[in-house]
Chains A and B, each alone.
Chain A
């Protein structure tokens, strides 16, 4: 199996007002092509920091990160941006659509950044897949939360990413919409064979992934489904 993401003994320390905080300690794991994984943990446990490091948005204090075969530490910011643009997708809890762009323009954005032609046709196809082809000329403010997140999913998949990072993708949605978004996310993930790494508080969502990591006080541990169920019962 192709190795997509390798995190080796990564640590992250923040210096703040004369004291240092170890947000992540000695974190290691590897994700392979087509795998899906979830990172769960309480607020402030280091989930988002880990996601940022894995996506090359931040640099670790120590350890190494290899994303799609490239050593992130050896790459410049420009090279990391190019890598994200071509092979990485993102989904955010707050959708983060550009408010002044229509749904279609939001989806075409990554391809336009790449300078690829026929971005619009590809975007329409994806918007059709997420059920919003007829709303493509609407602005984010004219869409509901669920619709906005569907547009964000279409945007995340437009460049056919090899890995998708999702930060609480259903965190701002109601239960019913969450389920529809989750189905959509996993369906597209399967269809495109994308590796998925998501962070969430939602254990139900986490259980839908192939692997589950729990993070607490900067320590990451992989759990089996059985361990997760025990933890859930215990909670």
Chain B
């Protein structure tokens, strides 16, 4: 070593840093643009990680408030003597509550709205407080005929605190406006606004009549020494026998926590997938970068640079790009975090403010850095294999992939798996999540590939020159067409599936929107009220249709096996415990058809075993078939029945449908209620009819389905925002990646354009070739996403929602039409200056 020379790691890094900086001149924008696609993925990881931590903290801080008690035991019928005995030994405080639905009438504005009534015993909730305006209303409303009313409801009817609200036969003073109820997400208020009254005034309303749907419950506050969970565990069997259900704080927290963890895990993994796809784009770019630099690397090696020194140069560039992605990603992620609570607030039972979650930020940044770095490093390791001899050769064999490259990609998959397992807390679920996402991307990739092959074939079928070249340009080496099709396709897929699912859900109510179909339902009409209610309806211009009797009943036994024994089987508990609101008819309606057996429409009143018809899904849930016997408890009287037919029911029709249909002739004398529906012409007519009906029949409930569908649509809109957020992120990442790929190949394109123009192509033709390429890219990406979305929607419609999967095919067309103009615009903006550059400048290298 000559005097003054420096060697070793420090020198190598210093020299490499200087060269890395110099080498990046003029290419920093390109590098940073690529980093941006990674930054978007990291930003989502940071935002969702922090958001998940915010939610967990919010839940942890308000565990008991979620339930308002240590234990709540529910029943769908008044607690039996045995049930009371079972609960008597429970120590501490107890509060009784009753929940039921009714029309709440606001005399001042003369409006009636279907509401959920909560009649609360003294002291409930034991934990947490109902936030009201005025603040002390929650503490004093039980001291008289006073009611707390949901703010949403007051706003809807234009009522104020201090005015009156009428529930059945009792008038209450609106004592306070409910702003927040512990454990109740705001969306619940929109679908069913709540009114709180004291339990002492329930009887005065006269609403709890025979056959009314009421949920009874006892809430308990235990002394610290008492273990409620252990008590439930010990008495589970007896509770089930008495058809009681229960919630403990731990179960409630676990359930909400699990739901939220699953949601954030899914979102995080999808974000990670976006990061991975963006990262693959970057890997492609680095691969191209290395290819471009091969000769330079050879020269450096000739000049005496060691492999280590050369690798460090490019490693520093990649690390800088990745660090930039992490810094930008963290900053953007922290910004996004501020908006996320608002997206989920409607569905989350606890309000919370976003706070800085250092650990989550560090974790997300760490994962993001590792993944991004490995993805960028994989193509970089090829630098090691560049021979200095390449400086002398005109044609080069590209360096082959080696084991280190495969190790990098292997590490990426491993890191992803570890992340998935950590996020879901289960190797199995994490693995399944990962497999699911890989399968989704695999299918997207295959679809993209098939479409690409098809496009190539089509281009050979005598297309005009510009179109042919446009298609060919799609598949130039560093275009990353397939990656772009996958990532943009994923965005389109999410948007189209979301849109499709929504139209399916709303489509179930499409009858409501049809002019002649019923859009108004009234139910819980007592026998002695029926004639007057029907008369009112006719007077108000609404002809009652489908006047149907309803007889509530419960399952006592199936094939002689008691409910207690059945609860120990794998038959869903809800199907065994629920109250079956059934009907009887001589003929089946238009919206149902027998698929097995034969429907019996009429029987003699003294028949011993009544032939009944079951809806096919409930039959499957109850694990029964034709010939099986059900013992039904009809208002205390056991009735032996036999399944003689199974029906397929169109639930989405507006006709009254039931799980169990009896023949005429047997239930006519049983205690029953009626319902009917009709067609109203306007919201005003509905309001008038509701007012007129409940004026003298306060227990009757009515609903305007048109309004309900609108509300439901609004809720779906809010529920969709999280997925839309992810879809938007995918699209943005894809577009950033597209911009980057474009920049990457800019000089190659510039040369090709100049050459084409030199050979006689007109600027218009060159421009058309480029625009064709971008239009096709947008179209192919859209098609990739939409093809999959159509398949996904078909499966959803067929197996989950069980409705027509494509009520509005337009929903798939809209995203299809959005992306191509976007890519076209991007292509135009990025190329217009290239078209203007004189060819000679380009060929001389003077651009």
Q: Is A58 an interface residue (CB 8 A)?
A: yes
Give the chain B neighbours of A167 by CB distance below 8 A: 391-392
Q: Is the CB of A82 within 8 A of B304?
A: yes
0 or 1 for each of A87-118: is its CB under 8 Å from B? (1 = yes): 01010110010111100010001101111110
Q: Is A81 an interface residue (CB 8 A)?
A: yes
Q: Which of A51-81 contact B (CB under 8 A)?
A: 51-52, 55, 57-58, 77-78, 81
Q: Is B451 an interface residue (CB 8 A)?
A: no
Q: How far is the CB of B818 from chain A (nearest CB, A)?
A: 39
Q: Is the CB of A52 within 8 A of B22?
A: no
Complexed CA–CA distance, A93 and B295 (Å): 13
- Name B304's contact: one of A58, A113, A141 (CB within 8 Å): A113
- Name A115's contact: one of B7, B300, B301, B845 (CB within 8 Å): B7
Q: Is the CB of A57 within 8 A of B388?
A: yes
Complexed CA–CA distance, A110 and B303 (Å): 6
Complexed CA–CA distance, A94 and B26 (Å): 22
Q: Is A219 an interface residue (CB 8 A)?
A: no
Q: Is the CB of A115 within 8 A of B6?
A: yes
Residue of A nearest to B845 (CB): A141
Of the listed stretches B277-285, B305-313, B770-778, B784-792, chain A binds B305-313
Q: Is B27 an interface residue (CB 8 A)?
A: yes
Q: Is B23 an interface residue (CB 8 A)?
A: yes
Residue of A nearest to B307 (CB): A77
Q: How far is the CB of A55 from chain B (nearest CB, A)?
A: 7
- Name B392's contact: one of A48, A84, A116 (CB within 8 Å): A48
Complexed CA–CA distance, A100 and B18 (Å): 12
Give the chain B neighbours of A93 by CB distance below 8 A: 392
Q: Is A27 an interface residue (CB 8 A)?
A: no
Q: Is the CB of B306 within 8 A of A81?
A: yes
- Name B299's contact: one of A52, A96, A105 (CB within 8 Å): A96
Give the chain B neighbours of A57 by CB distance below 8 A: 301-302, 387-389
- Name B24's contact: one of A77, A100, A109, A113 (CB within 8 Å): A100
Residue of B nearest to A55 (CB): B302
Q: How far is the CB of A224 from chain B (nearest CB, A)?
A: 28
Q: Is the CB of A81 within 8 A of B305?
A: yes
Q: Is the CB of A96 within 8 A of B389?
A: no
Q: How large is the interface on B (under 10, 10 to 19, 20 to 34, 35 or more residues)?
A: 35 or more
Q: Is the CB of A115 within 8 A of B302?
A: no
Q: Is the CB of A113 within 8 A of B25?
A: no
Q: Is A86 an interface residue (CB 8 A)?
A: yes
- Name B303's contact: one of A51, A52, A78, A109 (CB within 8 Å): A109
Q: Is A85 an interface residue (CB 8 A)?
A: yes
Q: Known contacts A48-B393, A96-B295, A113-B309; is A90 also within 8 Å of B303 by CB? A: yes
Q: Is the CB of B391 within 8 A of A112?
A: no
- Name B23's contact: one of A77, A83, A98, A113 (CB within 8 Å): A98
- Name B391's contact: one of A78, A92, A101 (CB within 8 Å): A92
Residue of A nearest to B298 (CB): A96
Q: Is the CB of B392 within 8 A of A51?
A: yes
Give the chain A neighbours of B710 by CB distance below 8 A: none
Q: Known contacts A98-B299, A115-B11, A117-B4; is A85 also within 8 Å of B392 by CB? A: no
Q: Is the CB of B845 within 8 A of A52?
A: no
Residue of B nearest to A99 (CB): B296
Give the chain A neighbours of B299 by CB distance below 8 A: 90, 92, 96, 98
Q: How far is the CB of B320 from chain A (nearest CB, A)?
A: 15
Complexed CA–CA distance, A194 and B829 (Å): 54
- Name A105's contact: one of B5, B15, B22 (CB within 8 Å): B22
Q: Is the CB of B303 within 8 A of A112?
A: no
0 or 1 for each of A110-130: is its CB under 8 Å from B? (1 = yes): 101111110000000000000
Q: How far is the CB of A85 from chain B (nearest CB, A)?
A: 2
Interface size for A (C-beta < 8 A) is 35
Give the chain B neighbours of A155 by CB distance below 8 A: 303
Q: Is the CB of B11 within 8 A of A92?
A: no
Which residue among A88, A101, A115, A167 has the maximum number of chain B CB atoms within 10 Å of its CB?
Answer: A115
Give the chain A neighbours of B305 by CB distance below 8 A: 81, 85, 113
Q: Is B88 an interface residue (CB 8 A)?
A: no
0 or 1 for each of B1-22: is its CB under 8 Å from A? (1 = yes): 0101111000100010011001
Q: Known contacts A77-B307, A85-B304, A85-B305; is A116 also within 8 Å of B2 by CB? A: yes
Q: Is the CB of B22 within 8 A of A92?
A: no
Residue of A nearest to B11 (CB): A115
Complexed CA–CA distance, A92 and B7 (Å): 27
Give the chain A neighbours of B393 by CB distance below 8 A: 48
Give the chain A neighbours of B298 by CB distance below 8 A: 96
Q: Is the CB of A58 within 8 A of B389?
A: yes
Q: Is the CB of A100 within 8 A of B309?
A: no
Q: Is the CB of B4 within 8 A of A116?
A: yes
Q: Which of B748-764 contact A (CB under 8 A)?
A: none
Complexed CA–CA distance, A48 and B392 (Å): 7
Which residue among A52, A113, A117 has the maximum number of chain B CB atoms within 10 Å of its CB?
Answer: A113
Q: Is the CB of A101 within 8 A of B301?
A: no
Complexed CA–CA distance, A163 and B762 (Å): 53
Give the chain A neighbours of B27 by CB distance below 8 A: 100
- Name A78's contact: one of B4, B26, B295, B306 (CB within 8 Å): B306
Complexed CA–CA distance, A105 and B304 (Å): 16
Complexed CA–CA distance, A117 and B300 (Å): 19
Complexed CA–CA distance, A43 and B387 (Å): 21
Give the chain A neighbours of B24 by CB distance below 8 A: 100
Give the chain A neighbours of B19 by CB distance below 8 A: 109, 112
Q: Is the CB of A86 within 8 A of B304?
A: yes
Q: Is the CB of B301 within 8 A of A81?
A: yes
0 or 1 for each of B388-408: is its CB under 8 Å from A? (1 = yes): 110111000000000000000
Complexed CA–CA distance, A78 and B304 (Å): 9
Give the chain A neighbours of B295 by CB distance below 8 A: 96
Complexed CA–CA distance, A137 and B327 (Å): 33
Give the chain B neighbours of A52 by CB distance below 8 A: 388-389, 392
Q: Known contacts A81-B306, A86-B304; is A96 also within 8 Å of B25 by CB? A: no
Give the chain A neighbours of B4 by CB distance below 8 A: 115-117
Q: Is the CB of A84 within 8 A of B11?
A: no
Complexed CA–CA distance, A13 and B642 (Å): 91
Q: How far is the CB of B393 from chain A (nearest CB, A)?
A: 7
Give the chain A neighbours of B304 by CB distance below 8 A: 81-86, 88, 110, 113-114
Which residue among B23, B298, B299, B304 has the maximum number of chain A CB atoms within 10 Å of its CB?
Answer: B304
Complexed CA–CA distance, A115 and B25 (Å): 22
0 or 1 for each of B73-110: is its CB under 8 Å from A? (1 = yes): 00000000000000000000000000000000000000
0 or 1 for each of B818-847: is its CB under 8 Å from A? (1 = yes): 000000000000000000000000000100
Give the chain B neighbours of A78 by CB distance below 8 A: 306-308
Complexed CA–CA distance, A57 and B393 (Å): 13
Residue of A nearest to B15 (CB): A112
Q: Is the CB of A100 within 8 A of B22?
A: yes
Complexed CA–CA distance, A57 and B387 (Å): 8
Complexed CA–CA distance, A83 and B302 (Å): 10
Q: Is the CB of B392 within 8 A of A100?
A: no
Residue of A nearest to B301 (CB): A81
Q: Which of A9-63 contact B (CB under 8 A)?
A: 48, 51-52, 55, 57-58
Q: Is the CB of B296 within 8 A of A98?
A: yes
Q: List 6 A-B contacts (CB under 8 A).
A: A52-B388, A57-B301, A57-B387, A58-B387, A86-B2, A115-B6
Lowest 10 CB-CB distances: which A-B pairs, in order?
A: A85-B304, A115-B6, A84-B304, A57-B388, A96-B299, A100-B25, A81-B306, A115-B11, A48-B392, A90-B302
Residue numbers of B with Cβ under 8 A of A are 2, 4-7, 11, 15, 18-19, 22-27, 295-296, 298-309, 387-389, 391-393, 845
Known: A82-B304, A96-B299, A98-B22. 10 other contacts (CB 8 A): A82-B306, A93-B392, A96-B295, A98-B23, A100-B23, A105-B22, A113-B15, A114-B6, A116-B2, A117-B4
